Protein backbone atom coordinates (compact mmCIF):
# COMPACT_ATOMS: atom_id res chain seq x y z
CA UNK A 1 0.00 0.00 0.00
CA UNK A 2 1.34 3.37 -1.01
CA UNK A 3 -0.10 6.64 0.28
CA UNK A 4 0.68 10.15 -0.87
CA UNK A 5 0.26 12.69 1.95
CA UNK A 6 -0.22 16.42 1.59
CA UNK A 7 1.48 18.40 4.34
CA UNK A 8 2.69 21.88 5.07
CA UNK A 9 6.39 22.44 5.57
CA UNK A 10 6.35 24.00 9.02
CA UNK A 11 8.09 22.04 11.80
CA UNK A 12 4.73 21.50 13.51
CA UNK A 13 3.05 20.24 10.32
CA UNK A 14 5.96 17.88 9.69
CA UNK A 15 5.86 16.57 13.28
CA UNK A 16 2.12 15.92 12.92
CA UNK A 17 2.54 14.15 9.60
CA UNK A 18 5.35 11.97 11.00
CA UNK A 19 3.12 11.13 13.94
CA UNK A 20 0.29 10.05 11.62
CA UNK A 21 2.65 7.93 9.51
CA UNK A 22 3.76 6.20 12.71
CA UNK A 23 0.14 5.49 13.72
CA UNK A 24 -0.62 4.02 10.30
CA UNK A 25 2.54 1.88 10.32
CA UNK A 26 1.48 0.37 13.65
CA UNK A 27 -1.64 -1.00 11.93
CA UNK A 28 -0.22 -1.50 8.44
CA UNK A 29 3.52 -2.24 8.72
CA UNK A 30 3.81 -2.55 4.96
CA UNK A 31 2.52 0.99 4.31
CA UNK A 32 4.71 3.27 2.22
CA UNK A 33 4.43 7.02 2.05
CA UNK A 34 5.32 9.90 -0.21
CA UNK A 35 5.16 13.40 1.25
CA UNK A 36 3.89 16.19 -0.97
CA UNK A 37 4.88 19.38 0.80
CA UNK A 38 3.38 22.70 -0.02
CA UNK A 39 3.80 26.17 1.34
CA UNK A 40 0.24 27.40 1.69
CA UNK A 41 -0.83 31.00 1.14
CA UNK A 42 -0.70 31.29 4.91
CA UNK A 43 2.98 30.28 5.05
CA UNK A 44 4.00 32.52 2.20
CA UNK A 45 2.22 35.69 3.23
CA UNK A 46 2.76 35.17 6.94
CA UNK A 47 -0.71 36.49 7.61
CA UNK A 48 -1.42 36.75 11.28
CA UNK A 49 -4.52 35.02 12.56
CA UNK A 50 -6.10 38.45 13.09
CA UNK A 51 -5.93 38.97 9.37
CA UNK A 52 -7.38 35.59 8.70
CA UNK A 53 -10.71 36.96 9.81
CA UNK A 54 -12.82 36.65 6.67
CA UNK A 55 -10.26 34.25 5.18
CA UNK A 56 -11.48 31.20 7.02
CA UNK A 57 -9.51 28.12 6.12
CA UNK A 58 -6.53 29.87 4.64
CA UNK A 59 -4.36 26.88 5.61
CA UNK A 60 -6.66 24.33 4.04
CA UNK A 61 -7.53 25.68 0.61
CA UNK A 62 -4.44 24.63 -1.30
CA UNK A 63 -4.41 21.22 0.34
CA UNK A 64 -7.95 20.64 -0.82
CA UNK A 65 -6.80 21.43 -4.34
CA UNK A 66 -4.09 18.76 -3.98
CA UNK A 67 -6.83 16.28 -3.10
CA UNK A 68 -9.24 17.38 -5.81
CA UNK A 69 -6.49 17.17 -8.45
CA UNK A 70 -5.58 13.71 -7.14
CA UNK A 71 -2.01 14.75 -6.39
CA UNK A 72 -2.32 13.30 -2.88
CA UNK A 73 -4.43 10.62 -1.17
CA UNK A 74 -4.96 12.41 2.12
CA UNK A 75 -3.98 15.55 3.98
CA UNK A 76 -2.96 15.94 7.63
CA UNK A 77 -4.49 19.08 9.13
CA UNK A 78 -4.48 20.60 12.58
CA UNK A 79 -8.20 20.17 13.05
CA UNK A 80 -8.59 23.71 14.32
CA UNK A 81 -7.32 25.06 11.00
CA UNK A 82 -9.74 22.97 8.93
CA UNK A 83 -12.90 24.88 7.95
CA UNK A 84 -16.19 23.34 9.08
CA UNK A 85 -17.32 23.18 5.44
CA UNK A 86 -15.07 21.03 3.28
CA UNK A 87 -14.64 21.19 -0.48
CA UNK A 88 -17.24 19.14 -2.36
CA UNK A 89 -16.29 15.48 -2.60
CA UNK A 90 -13.89 15.64 0.38
CA UNK A 91 -14.50 14.24 3.85
CA UNK A 92 -13.00 14.34 7.33
CA UNK A 93 -12.02 10.68 7.07
CA UNK A 94 -10.47 10.25 10.50
CA UNK A 95 -9.72 11.99 13.80
CA UNK A 96 -6.76 10.25 15.53
CA UNK A 97 -6.27 10.42 19.33
CA UNK A 98 -6.29 14.03 20.51
CA UNK A 99 -3.30 15.67 22.15
CA UNK A 100 -3.77 18.05 25.11
CA UNK A 101 -6.26 20.65 23.81
CA UNK A 102 -5.40 23.37 26.34
CA UNK A 103 -3.73 26.69 25.66
CA UNK A 104 -0.31 27.30 27.14
CA UNK A 105 0.85 30.53 28.71
CA UNK A 106 4.59 30.73 28.02
CA UNK A 107 6.94 33.14 29.79
CA UNK A 108 4.80 33.59 32.91
CA UNK A 109 1.92 32.00 34.79
CA UNK A 110 -1.42 33.72 35.36
CA UNK A 111 -0.23 34.34 38.92
CA UNK A 112 3.18 35.77 37.98
CA UNK A 113 2.08 37.76 34.92
CA UNK A 114 2.82 41.34 35.99
CA UNK A 115 0.27 44.15 36.00
CA UNK A 116 0.20 45.73 32.55
CA UNK A 117 2.07 42.79 31.00
CA UNK A 118 2.52 42.54 27.23
CA UNK A 119 1.11 39.26 25.92
CA UNK A 120 1.67 38.10 22.36
CA UNK A 121 -0.95 36.25 20.33
CA UNK A 122 -2.38 36.50 16.84
CA UNK A 123 -5.62 34.77 17.77
CA UNK A 124 -8.78 36.81 18.34
CA UNK A 125 -10.06 34.16 20.74
CA UNK A 126 -6.90 34.22 22.86
CA UNK A 127 -6.87 38.00 22.78
CA UNK A 128 -10.50 38.29 23.89
CA UNK A 129 -10.15 35.65 26.58
CA UNK A 130 -6.94 36.98 28.14
CA UNK A 131 -8.41 40.51 28.17
CA UNK A 132 -11.52 39.11 29.84
CA UNK A 133 -9.44 37.57 32.63
CA UNK A 134 -6.79 40.29 32.78
CA UNK A 135 -8.08 43.65 31.51
CA UNK A 136 -4.74 45.21 32.51
CA UNK A 137 -2.66 43.39 29.87
CA UNK A 138 -1.74 44.70 26.44
CA UNK A 139 -2.20 42.15 23.66
CA UNK A 140 0.47 42.34 20.97
CA UNK A 141 -0.36 40.67 17.64
CA UNK A 142 2.33 38.19 16.64
CA UNK A 143 2.53 35.64 13.86
CA UNK A 144 4.72 32.90 12.47
CA UNK A 145 5.60 29.39 13.52
CA UNK A 146 5.81 28.18 17.11
CA UNK A 147 9.61 28.58 17.54
CA UNK A 148 9.79 32.20 16.31
CA UNK A 149 6.74 33.09 18.42
CA UNK A 150 8.39 31.75 21.56
CA UNK A 151 11.56 33.63 20.70
CA UNK A 152 9.60 36.90 20.98
CA UNK A 153 9.38 36.60 24.78
CA UNK A 154 11.69 39.28 26.10
CA UNK A 155 12.57 40.29 22.53
CA UNK A 156 12.21 43.61 20.72
CA UNK A 157 8.44 43.74 21.36
CA UNK A 158 9.24 43.34 25.10
CA UNK A 159 6.70 40.56 25.48
CA UNK A 160 6.23 39.11 28.94
CA UNK A 161 4.42 36.05 27.62
CA UNK A 162 2.89 34.44 24.56
CA UNK A 163 -0.07 32.08 24.32
CA UNK A 164 0.33 28.91 22.26
CA UNK A 165 -1.30 25.50 22.09
CA UNK A 166 0.04 22.87 24.52
CA UNK A 167 -0.39 20.32 21.73
CA UNK A 168 1.89 22.14 19.33
CA UNK A 169 4.60 22.48 21.97
CA UNK A 170 4.31 18.81 22.91
CA UNK A 171 4.47 17.62 19.31
CA UNK A 172 7.60 19.71 18.81
CA UNK A 173 9.16 18.34 22.02
CA UNK A 174 9.05 21.82 23.55
CA UNK A 175 6.77 21.16 26.54
CA UNK A 176 9.13 22.94 28.87
CA UNK A 177 8.36 26.23 27.10
CA UNK A 178 4.87 26.15 28.65
CA UNK A 179 4.76 27.91 32.02
CA UNK A 180 1.10 27.05 32.65
CA UNK A 181 -1.57 25.02 30.87
CA UNK A 182 -4.57 27.32 31.12
CA UNK A 183 -7.65 25.83 32.81
CA UNK A 184 -10.26 25.32 30.08
CA UNK A 185 -13.06 26.33 32.47
CA UNK A 186 -11.54 29.82 32.52
CA UNK A 187 -9.77 29.82 29.18
CA UNK A 188 -11.61 27.49 26.78
CA UNK A 189 -9.61 26.26 23.81
CA UNK A 190 -10.24 26.61 20.10
CA UNK A 191 -12.64 24.21 18.44
CA UNK A 192 -10.58 21.19 17.37
CA UNK A 193 -7.42 22.35 19.14
CA UNK A 194 -5.02 19.50 19.87
CA UNK A 195 -6.75 17.20 17.39
CA UNK A 196 -5.65 16.22 13.90
CA UNK A 197 -8.03 15.92 10.98
CA UNK A 198 -7.28 13.58 8.10
CA UNK A 199 -9.05 14.74 4.97
CA UNK A 200 -9.56 12.47 1.95
CA UNK A 201 -11.72 12.04 -1.13
CA UNK A 202 -15.17 10.68 -0.23
CA UNK A 203 -14.99 8.11 -3.04
CA UNK A 204 -11.61 6.65 -1.94
CA UNK A 205 -12.96 3.76 0.15
CA UNK A 206 -9.57 2.03 0.47
CA UNK A 207 -7.80 5.15 1.74
CA UNK A 208 -10.65 5.95 4.12
CA UNK A 209 -10.52 2.42 5.53
CA UNK A 210 -6.83 2.82 6.38
CA UNK A 211 -7.40 6.23 7.98
CA UNK A 212 -10.41 4.99 9.98
CA UNK A 213 -8.15 2.35 11.54
CA UNK A 214 -6.31 5.09 13.47
CA UNK A 215 -9.43 7.01 14.48
CA UNK A 216 -10.17 7.65 18.16
CA UNK A 217 -13.98 7.48 18.69
CA UNK A 218 -13.85 9.93 21.59
CA UNK A 219 -11.81 12.45 19.64
CA UNK A 220 -14.24 12.03 16.71
CA UNK A 221 -17.25 12.74 18.94
CA UNK A 222 -15.52 15.79 20.42
CA UNK A 223 -14.66 17.04 16.94
CA UNK A 224 -18.23 16.54 15.69
CA UNK A 225 -19.74 18.40 18.65
CA UNK A 226 -17.27 21.29 18.60
CA UNK A 227 -17.28 21.73 14.82
CA UNK A 228 -21.07 21.53 14.53
CA UNK A 229 -21.35 24.26 17.16
CA UNK A 230 -18.83 26.45 15.31
CA UNK A 231 -20.60 25.83 12.01
CA UNK A 232 -23.98 26.77 13.49
CA UNK A 233 -22.46 30.01 14.83
CA UNK A 234 -20.99 30.72 11.41
CA UNK A 235 -17.62 31.27 13.02
CA UNK A 236 -14.16 30.36 11.70
CA UNK A 237 -11.22 29.03 13.66
CA UNK A 238 -9.81 32.37 14.68
CA UNK A 239 -13.02 33.89 16.04
CA UNK A 240 -13.44 34.40 19.79
CA UNK A 241 -15.35 31.19 20.42
CA UNK A 242 -13.84 28.80 22.94
CA UNK A 243 -14.81 25.25 23.76
CA UNK A 244 -14.11 22.64 26.40
CA UNK A 245 -15.29 19.04 26.42
CA UNK A 246 -15.51 16.65 29.34
CA UNK A 247 -16.66 13.04 29.62
CA UNK A 248 -18.63 11.43 32.41
CA UNK A 249 -20.27 8.00 32.44
CA UNK A 250 -19.89 7.76 28.67
CA UNK A 251 -21.62 11.08 28.07
CA UNK A 252 -20.03 14.08 26.46
CA UNK A 253 -20.42 17.61 27.83
CA UNK A 254 -19.64 20.56 25.60
CA UNK A 255 -18.95 23.87 27.33
CA UNK A 256 -18.61 26.91 25.10
CA UNK A 257 -17.83 30.58 25.51
CA UNK A 258 -18.19 33.54 23.19
CA UNK A 259 -16.11 36.54 24.27
CA UNK A 260 -16.33 40.05 22.86
CA UNK A 261 -13.13 41.21 21.15
CA UNK A 262 -12.19 43.63 23.91
CA UNK A 263 -12.93 40.97 26.51
CA UNK A 264 -15.63 42.96 28.25
CA UNK A 265 -18.54 40.61 27.58
CA UNK A 266 -18.80 36.86 27.78
CA UNK A 267 -21.58 34.35 27.13
CA UNK A 268 -21.34 30.69 28.13
CA UNK A 269 -23.40 27.56 27.58
CA UNK A 270 -23.06 23.86 28.30
CA UNK A 271 -25.02 20.72 27.49
CA UNK A 272 -24.46 16.97 27.64
CA UNK A 273 -25.36 14.13 25.30
CA UNK A 274 -24.42 10.61 24.30
CA UNK A 275 -21.48 10.59 21.83
CA UNK A 276 -23.80 9.34 19.05
CA UNK A 277 -25.62 12.66 19.43
CA UNK A 278 -22.46 14.77 19.19
CA UNK A 279 -23.72 16.92 16.31
CA UNK A 280 -27.07 17.57 17.94
CA UNK A 281 -25.11 18.53 21.04
CA UNK A 282 -23.09 21.07 19.07
CA UNK A 283 -26.25 22.53 17.55
CA UNK A 284 -27.95 22.75 20.94
CA UNK A 285 -25.00 24.61 22.49
CA UNK A 286 -24.86 27.01 19.54
CA UNK A 287 -28.57 27.67 19.92
CA UNK A 288 -28.18 28.50 23.62
CA UNK A 289 -25.23 30.79 22.88
CA UNK A 290 -27.35 32.61 20.30
CA UNK A 291 -30.31 32.92 22.67
CA UNK A 292 -27.99 34.36 25.31
CA UNK A 293 -26.74 37.00 22.89
CA UNK A 294 -23.44 35.35 21.92
CA UNK A 295 -23.77 36.12 18.21
CA UNK A 296 -24.91 39.64 18.94
CA UNK A 297 -21.80 40.46 20.99
CA UNK A 298 -19.61 39.11 18.20
CA UNK A 299 -21.36 41.16 15.55
CA UNK A 300 -21.19 44.28 17.70
CA UNK A 301 -17.52 43.91 18.46
CA UNK A 302 -16.64 43.15 14.84
CA UNK A 303 -18.39 46.26 13.63
CA UNK A 304 -16.22 48.28 16.01
CA UNK A 305 -13.07 46.47 14.92
CA UNK A 306 -13.69 45.96 11.22
CA UNK A 307 -15.87 48.81 9.89
CA UNK A 308 -16.56 46.89 6.68
CA UNK A 309 -17.90 43.95 8.63
CA UNK A 310 -21.49 43.15 7.63
CA UNK A 311 -22.65 40.10 9.50
CA UNK A 312 -21.43 36.88 10.92
Site map 85..104 versus ligand PBG, x via CB under 6 A:
--------------------
Sheet holding 103-106, edge to edge: 138-140, 118-120, 161-165, 103-106, 180-181
DSSP 100: P
Helix (H, G, I), strand (E, B) or coil at 86: coil
Instruction: By CB under 6 A, tell whether 164 contacts ligand PBG.
Output: yes
Instruction: By CB under 6 A, tell whether 236 contacts ligand PBG.
Output: no
- Reply yes or no on whether 45 is catalytic: no
- Reply yes or no on whether 303 is catalytic: no
Instruction: By CB under 6 A, tell whether 40 contacts ligand PBG.
Output: no
DSSP 289: H
- Reply yes or no on whether 204 is catalytic: no
H or E element, residue 297:
helix 294-305
Instruction: By CB under 6 A, tell whether 80 contacts ligand PBG.
Output: yes
Instruction: By CB under 6 A, tell whether 273 contacts ligand PBG.
Output: no
Contact range with ligand PBG by CB under 6 A, out of 107-115, 160-168, 257-265, 283-291: 160-168
Instruction: By CB under 6 A, tell whether 168 contacts ligand PBG.
Output: yes
Instruction: By CB under 6 A, tell whether 20 contacts ligand PBG.
Output: no
CB of 108 to ligand PBG, least distance (A): 17
Contacts of 36 (CB under 8 A, 6+ apart): 4, 5, 6, 7, 66, 71, 72
Q: Report the C-alpha gap between 228 and 225 in whole angstroms.
A: 5
Crossing angle for the helix pair 278-291 and 294-305, to the nearest 10 degrees? 70
**Radius of gyration for the chain, computed over Cα atoms and rounded to the nearest angstrom:** 19
Residue 6 vs 194, nearer CB to ligand PBG: 194
- Reply yes or no on whether 237 is catalytic: yes
CB of 189 to ligand PBG, least distance (A): 8
Residue 193 vs 259, nearer CB to ligand PBG: 193
Number of C-beta neighbours around residue 179 at 10 A: 17
Encode 189-210 in three state secondary structure: ECCCCCCEEEEEECCCHHHHHH
Taking CB under 6 A as the criterion, the residue among 7, 78, 178, 271 binding ligand PBG is: 78
Residues 169-198 that bind ligand PBG (CB under 6 A): 193-194
- Reply yes or no on whether 81 is catalytic: yes
Looking from the CA of 170 toward its CB, the CA atoms found within 13 Å total 15
Contact range with ligand PBG by CB under 6 A, out of 76-84, 207-215, 228-236, 287-295: 76-84
The residues assigned a catalytic role are: 80-81, 125-126, 143, 149, 237
Q: Which residues bind ligand PBG (CB under 6 A)?
A: 78, 80-81, 146, 164-165, 167-168, 193-194
Amino acid sequence: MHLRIGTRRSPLAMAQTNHVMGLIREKFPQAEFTLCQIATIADRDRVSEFHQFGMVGVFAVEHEQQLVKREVDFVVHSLKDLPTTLHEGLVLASVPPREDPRDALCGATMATLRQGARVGTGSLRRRAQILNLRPDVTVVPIRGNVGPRLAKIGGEDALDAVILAQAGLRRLGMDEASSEALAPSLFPYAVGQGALGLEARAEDAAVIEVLKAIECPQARAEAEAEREMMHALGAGCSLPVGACVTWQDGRLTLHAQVTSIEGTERVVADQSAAPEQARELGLAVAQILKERGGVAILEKSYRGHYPSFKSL
